[in-house]
Amino acid sequence: MSEKLPNMLENTIQKIREMVDVNSVIGAPISTPDGVTIIPVSKVSVGFGGGGSDFVNKSGGENPFGGGVGGGVKVTPICFLIVKDGNVRMMPVAAPANTTADRIVEMIPDTLDKISAFVDSKTKGTAE
């Protein structure tokens, strides 16, 4: 087997290493004027594959090689770490709603708040 396929795989791995570093998982801290530090945290998924083959050269000489390698990187935000006055709090990043039912469930707290505010305003209006 040709030495070209291992070289292709090693080059792909090296390129992925260059794209994904520690700052892809734990982002650079962001400091605000009031002393709060925000640190983004992400999940990194990496995948790659490749294959190839030496072909028979009927005229002699070195066998020709055909192959390919591909890879991909996906960075997904997970949460933010909020640091203030020596305390650390984690604020998760909610995944976007994929179905109508998920969207309805997400709307319930906001809808309840609006209904509650409306009822409170009507109650105060009749009490006066």
Q: Same domain, yes or no, for 71 and 123?
A: no
Q: Mean pLDDT, the chain, as a whole number? A: 79
pLDDT at residue number 96: 67
Q: Same domain, yes or no, for 89 and 99?
A: no
Count of the separate structural domains present in the chain: 2
CA-wise closest residue to 29 among 39, 41, 17 = 39
The mean pLDDT value for 25-47 works out to 88
How far is residue 74 from each of residues 20, 42, 63, 70, 71, measured CA to CA in Å?
10, 10, 37, 14, 10
Q: Same domain, yes or no, for 39 and 61?
A: yes
The mean pLDDT value for 29-41 works out to 91
23 or 79, which is more confident: 79
H and E: helices and strands count for the chain: 3, 4
Q: Same domain, yes or no, for 28 and 87?
A: yes
Q: Same domain, yes or no, for 44 and 69?
A: yes
Binning pLDDT at 50, 70 and 90, where does residue 27 land? confident
Whether 37 shows a pLDDT value over 90: the answer reads: yes
Q: Same domain, yes or no, for 89 and 106?
A: no
Q: Same domain, yes or no, for 85 and 36?
A: yes
Q: Same domain, yes or no, for 114 and 78?
A: no
Rg, Å, the chain Cα set: 27
CA-wise closest residue to 45 among 68, 18, 77 = 77
Q: Same domain, yes or no, for 100 and 119?
A: yes
Q: 123 is in which domain, residue-wise?
A: 95-128
Please tell me whether the overall predicted TM-score, pTM, comes out greater than 0.75 for this model. Answer: no
Q: Same domain, yes or no, for 17 and 66?
A: yes
Q: Residues 45-97: pLDDT tens digits?
A: 878 777 777 777 777 677 777 788 777 778 888 899 999 998 999 988 876 66
| Cα gap 65→54, rounded to integer Å | 4
Q: Same domain, yes or no, for 110 and 76?
A: no
Q: At residue 57, what are phi and psi to the nearest 5 degrees? A: -100, 110
Whether 118 shows a pLDDT value over 60: the answer reads: yes
Q: Same domain, yes or no, for 101 and 125?
A: yes
Q: Which residue has the tokens 């028979």?
A: 56
pLDDT at residue number 36: 92
